[in-house]
Structure 1
Amino acid sequence: MKTVFMFITDWCPYCKQALSFMEDLKKEHPEYGNLEVKIIDEERQPEIAKQYDYYYVPTYYVDGVKVHEGVPSRDIVRKVFKEASK
């Protein structure tokens, strides 16, 4: 499995929504429970966030490749998890 990096901010409503989608998908699909998702708050960890090329949160990187940026959906989060599971 590949590591997922998720970039967020505390005040972003879409980040909260994406986190909720992630929790739900992990409950529904136990195989996603073993995925390693490193959540990086760009305001608390700017030294890490500045190493990546993105403008909007939430943003997902899988194995160093950006797979989504911006407003999430349940299907988008599922695709991120599927990509990380390959």
Structure 2
Amino acid sequence: MKIEIRLFATLASYASHGEMDADACLSFDGPATIRDAVQRLGVPEQEIKLVFLNGVGVSLDSSLKDKDRVGIFPPIGGG
């Protein structure tokens, strides 16, 4: 299974992890959750505020399937 992961703002530095391919994708041999992907990339969970799966807000425990798109955002302040 191959999923696309986009890390935004301060989390973008974790996207350079060696397991991600040039298309920002991670591969899994079996069942996986978003939490599994986050752990593989070394993103600290306390730095995550919002998670989207195929454009819908979800939790880290959401199951993944082939070709899913995941977006992960940190808390962002504004003015």
TM-score range for the pair, normalised by the shorter chain length? 0.3 to 0.5
TM-score by length of 1: 0.32
TM-score by length of 2: 0.34
The structure in which a higher percent of residues are helix is: 1
